[in-house]
Amino acid sequence: MSKAGKSVSIKVPTSKLASGADAWIANRGAEPATDRESGNVTNLKPVEAAPVEAAKEKMSRFTIDVPESLHRRVKMQCAARGQKMADMMRDLLEREFPAS
């Protein structure tokens, strides 16, 4: 027995929430916020967007093998400092090999 190919059409759902959310974001500074529990009204100041940084340099992957004990020490120190390992390693490499 052979099975014939079956065609299934998939409909993309439309959401009224998405357009409502977009409208809310666009007008978020237009009216004061109301606390739902207490009913207090708070006038909010519009938030400025973060400045756009200059064009970032393209990143390249750099993979090295290190002993587990060293990896564990680096990971523990980064966690204690609240820093990502990749960011710490980039800083370390920048200090060791500064741009000329």
pLDDT tens, position by position, 16-72:
666 666 666 776 666 666 666 666 666 656 666 667 666 788 999 999 999 999 999
- What does the domain layout of the chain look like in residue ranges? 68-99
Residue 72 is which amino acid?
Answer: R
**For residue 69, which phi and psi values (nearest 5 degrees)?**
-65, -40
With 0-12 / 13-18 / 19 or more C-beta atoms within 10 angstroms meaning exposed / middle / buried, residue 26 is: exposed
Distances in Å between the alpha carbon of 34 and those of 37, 40, 74, 91?
Answer: 9, 6, 46, 44
Q: Provide the whole-model pTM.
A: 0.45
- CA distance linking residue 69 with residue 72, whole number of Å: 5
For position 6, what pLDDT does the model report?
A: 84
